[in-house]
């Protein structure tokens, strides 16, 4: 599979899975791509940074592969939950992971540290 083909595969998916039990730093662009597509995500806790269990992802303990499988089956069987997680994931990524939002929040922090009046948008505060 080529990286540029990933959006097409995600579009076809009923559920997306993050099988990374340990993920130093951020969860990465792949998780954000799943979220932006509005797809329900099942993930180990280590790969689920920035999301909450049963709000915008189905999160299971690290290395509990049986729980990961149960999460996948749950999402496939409960289409209402799947749709809710997908909508919330998209909302979360647009509100919290969009670079315009992130930069505005960082700018606001710098303004506070420097004692300057903030010109950041109200959503960044």
Q: How far apart are CA 108 and CA 125, in angstroms?
A: 7
Give Cα separations from 15 to 78, 111, 114 (angstroms): 11, 41, 45
DSSP 54: T
Cβ-based neighbours of 41, under 8 Å, separated by 6 or more: 15, 16, 17, 18, 31, 34, 35, 48, 51, 56, 57, 58, 85, 89
pLDDT (tens digit per residue) in 2-22: 878 888 888 899 999 988 887
- Mention the CATH class of domain 3-97: alpha beta
CA distance 1 to 49: 25
pTM above 0.85, yes or no: no
Domains of the chain, residue spans: 3-97
| pLDDT tens-digit readout, 41-96 | 999 998 888 889 999 999 999 999 999 999 999 999 999 999 999 999 999 988 88
Q: How confident is the model at residue 118 (pLDDT cuts 50, 70, 90)?
A: low
β-strand pairing of 16-18 with 41-44: parallel
């Amino acid at each position: 599979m080529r990286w540029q083909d990933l959006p097409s595969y995600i579009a076809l998916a009923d559920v997306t899975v993050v099988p990374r039990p340990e993920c130093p730093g951020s969860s990465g662009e792949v998780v954000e791509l799943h979220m932006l597509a509005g797809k329900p995500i099942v993930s180990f806790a280590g790969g689920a940074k920035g999301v909450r269990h049963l709000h915008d992802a189905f999160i299971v303990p690290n290395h509990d592969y049986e729980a990961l499988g149960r999460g996948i089956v749950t999402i496939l069987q409960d289409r209402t939950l799947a749709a809710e997680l997908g909508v919330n994931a998209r909302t979360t990524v647009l509100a919290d992971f969009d670079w315009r939002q992130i930069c505005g929040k960082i700018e606001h922090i710098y303004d506070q540290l420097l004692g300057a009046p903030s010109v950041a948008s109200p959503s960044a505060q």
